[in-house]
Amino acid sequence: MVDGTTTVGALRTAVRRFVRERDWERFHLPKDLAIAISVEASELLERFLWRDPAPAATLSSEDRSAIAEELADVVIYGVSLADVLEVDLSDAVLAKLKKDEAKYPADRYRGRAR
3-7, 43-47, 68-72, 85-89: which range is least confident on average?
Answer: 3-7
The model's pTM: 0.88
Report whether pLDDT(2) > 80. no
Domains of the chain by range and CATH? 8-109 (1.10.287.1080)
Q: For the chain, give the DSSP string.
A: ---S---HHHHHHHHHHHHHHTT-GGG--HHHHHHHHHHHHHHHHHTTTT-----GGGS-HHHHHHHHHHHHHHHHHHHHHHHHHT--HHHHHHHHHHHHHHHS-HHHHTT---
64-103: per-residue pLDDT in tens?
999 999 999 999 999 999 999 999 999 999 999 999 999 9
pLDDT bracket for residue 25 (50, 70, 90): very high
